[in-house]
Amino acid sequence: MTQYPVLLDRDGESFTLYSHFCGPDVEEFEIGRHEMLVIVHGPNGYISPSWYPEGQTIPTWDFVTVQLRGVPETVSDEENFAVLQRMVAQFEAPVENPRSLIADPETVRTAARGTTGIRMAVSSWTARAKLSQNKPPAVRQRILEELRGNGPYANPRLAREFGQALSQVTGR
């Protein structure tokens, strides 16, 4: 198991995942020879029982995740470079002074030679969200306030997902 950035393209009901592997991972993971499971972690975090009514003492961990399956294939150096450019553009977008691979393409092409790009048509996927659905709306509202707050377990990303799920239940 390892972690790599991914891009996901959607065409109607079909999804294609793009990423890259470094060094020996292509051989170790036998890319192209077997189905691969890719787990994309969304926001997650600790939910303190101190946010529950008195007498409830069991903490939990809330999360959002997607599991994607398919058989990956390696791509050409040119397609890999194009995917790396898209990745950097996406992840640099929120940065105050973003950097672009296009600014110094030869240095980047040299570095890209140490990676192997992959494309994976997603054959099946499962999305899971555990967002304290077993709690009544008033308790979930308190959890949302804590996630939005400034305490030790404040978590804006999880709060955003949690708030969306809660609004579907409460209509607000």
Residue 106 lies in a domain: yes
Residue 59 · residue 47 · CB < 8 Å: yes
**Model confidence over 49-90: pLDDT tens digits?**
999 999 999 999 999 999 999 999 999 988 998 898 889 889
What is the rounded distance in angstroms from the CA atom of residue 70 to the CA atom of residue 164? 29
Q: Helix, strand or coil for residue 110?
A: helix
Tell me the residue range of the domain where 99 lies.
7-131
pLDDT category of residue 27 using cuts at 50, 70 and 90: confident
What is the rounded distance in angstroms from the CA atom of residue 39 to the CA atom of residue 53? 34
CA distances from 114 to 1, 20, 26, 33, 81 (A): 19, 10, 11, 21, 11
Task: Tell me what percent of the residues of the chain surpass a pLDDT of 90.
Answer: 65
Q: Which residues contact 54 (CB under 8 A, 6 or more apart)?
A: none
Residue 15 lies in a domain: yes
Mean of pLDDT values over 102-114? 76
Supply the CATH number for residue 54's domain.
Answer: 2.30.110.10
Would you say residue 23 has pLDDT above 90?
no
Residue 138 lies in a domain: no
The tally of domains found in the chain comes to: 1
Residue 32 lies in a domain: yes
pLDDT category of residue 151 using cuts at 50, 70 and 90: very high
pLDDT category of residue 122 using cuts at 50, 70 and 90: very high
Residue 152 lies in a domain: no
Residue 32 corresponds to which tokens in the numbers above? 């192209």
Return the sign of the alpha-carbon dihedral for residues 93, 95, 98, 101: negative
Residue 149 lies in a domain: no
Residue 69 lies in a domain: yes
pLDDT category of residue 1 using cuts at 50, 70 and 90: low
Residue 151 lies in a domain: no
